[in-house]
Amino acid sequence: MSPREGNLQAPTRHPLDWRAPEFYDEAALHQEQERIFNICHGCRRCVSLCGAFPTLFDLIDNSATMEIDGVAKADYAKVVDQCYLCDLCYMTKCPYVPPHPWNVDFPHVMLRAKAVKFSKGDFTLRDRLLTSTDAVGKLATIPVVVQAVNAANASPPARKVMEKVLGVAADAWLPPYAERRFRSAAPASLGWPVRDGARTPGKVAVFATCYINYNEPGIGYDLLKILDHIRVPYALVASEACCGMPKLELGDLTRVEALKDVNIPALASLAKAGYAILTAVPSCTLMFKQELPLLFPDDADVRAVAEAMFDPFEYIVARERDGLLDRTFTRGLGKVSYHVPCHARVQNIGQKTREALEWIPDTSVNTVERCSGHDGTWGVKREFFEGAMKIGEPVFRRMEEFEPDYISSDCPIAARRIEEGIAQSGTERSPRRAHPLTLLRMAYGID
């Protein structure tokens, strides 16, 4: 049977068998990379998605044979280094994903290569620090320390030193730390009665995330205010650790498992008690919805959490479909350039944020669906920063061309990168940056 072009069935994703002995076998990894790279070279659909594919195609095209067998195995690492595991090639482009017999899962072979690299101790202090969001956040938000850390992050000479010593690009924006952590200052719910809908549980548990807890608590407060306003009782998850996405990107799967073991028991009991679980950062939502179930397919608690997990706008739009949402808005927002981050796209929930923003009167929404170039910790690394800004350029341009009053992205870090890119373009306009939850809170007229 000759393999057909593309799938006729919906894609399925096989779990990652990361505990199998051959998973860390470098020769077996190279064999699988060679197989997939060869298919990609003949296909080339993903050439514009990120740096991994152009790097691969250049390596092959410039080799002696102009085929994959002409590329040195050591050079495969150059392809892996350009992948920040956004999953877009798998979820949006590739016609050869399972159940197609070619069984192409490009991000999973990249993740395996990162795990093999990590298992050999091939990582730096910088890699460890950038991916320890919880530990660094705890330390950086201690009073007095927080002012010193923020001052250093904003100081060009200190950043030059940091670039030299640690390899964090001096020009890359680093998020300032908040003086008060979200989880210690979050107000209690107004305690409305629970109204379950056909699509939505009537009570919500909020998983704060490291970024909201330590860096931008305002987004978390906006989520809580909206929940109070739409009469949904909420609770914070009693204790939480990092979702594990940064460690996944590093290939440190043992640490991912340790974080899973901290988070899942508390989250699973909330899921079983009938809570919807919301996080305001798409990468963390994706971690619980898709990545952990692929790493731990036999864990019933991981599955229960995945099923209870909602993107906030997925929940709000489903609440509206349930006939349980107040859609009375008291103010329009003007022109909003809204960016759909990769980790929201690959959740396969449709553009729920755009849909909710379009409910708001006197508001026009320009939607840009393309990688912003931040990509977790990847885009702040010295060796990738310039390429990351190039990846983001079309997004910066299309967001700015709309002459927006606001720029917005579900991913608060991507929004900062876009703001940075627009500022560097030399435009005199400086649209305000606001998270979609902030915009919704404003449209509801909530202070």
Cα 20 to the chain's mean position, in Å? 27
Under 8 Å between Cβ of 391 and 374: no
**Looking at 29, 71, 104, 284, which residue binds ligand SF4 (CB under 6 A)?**
104
Least gap, CB of 386 to ligand SF4 (angstroms): 16
> Cis peptide leading into 99, omega within 30 of 0?
yes
Is residue 87 near ligand SF4 by the rule CB under 6 A?
yes
| Residue 441: other Cβ atoms inside 10 A | 22
Is residue 106 near ligand SF4 by the rule CB under 6 A?
yes
**Looking at 29, 59, 68, 89, which residue binds ligand SF4 (CB under 6 A)?**
89
Under 8 Å between Cβ of 364 and 389: no
Return the closest-CA partner of residue 313 out of 268, 288, 341, 349. Answer: 349
| Residue 358 vs 369, nearer CB to ligand SF4 | 369
Least gap, CB of 106 to ligand SF4 (angstroms): 4
Least gap, CB of 96 to ligand SF4 (angstroms): 5
Is residue 149 near ligand SF4 by the rule CB under 6 A?
no
Is residue 88 near ligand SF4 by the rule CB under 6 A?
yes
Least gap, CB of 50 to ligand SF4 (angstroms): 3
**Looking at 16, 29, 40, 223, which residue binds ligand SF4 (CB under 6 A)?**
40
Is residue 414 near ligand SF4 by the rule CB under 6 A?
no
> Binders of ligand SF4 among 199-238, rule CB under 6 A?
none
Under 8 Å between Cβ of 167 and 127: no
| Residue 37 vs 221, nearer CB to ligand SF4 | 37
Is residue 35 near ligand SF4 by the rule CB under 6 A?
no
> What burial letters (b/e) apply to 159-187, b meaning 16+ CB within 10 Å?
beebbeeebbbeebbbbbbbeebbbeebe
Least gap, CB of 102 to ligand SF4 (angstroms): 8
Is residue 46 near ligand SF4 by the rule CB under 6 A?
yes
Least gap, CB of 63 to ligand SF4 (angstroms): 18
Q: Is the dihedral of CA 218, 224, 228, 229 positive or negative?
A: positive
Is residue 107 near ligand SF4 by the rule CB under 6 A?
yes
> Binders of ligand SF4 among 66-85, rule CB under 6 A?
83-85
Residues of this chain that bind ligand SF4 (CB under 6 A): 39-40, 43-46, 49-50, 52-53, 83-89, 93-94, 96, 104, 106-107, 110
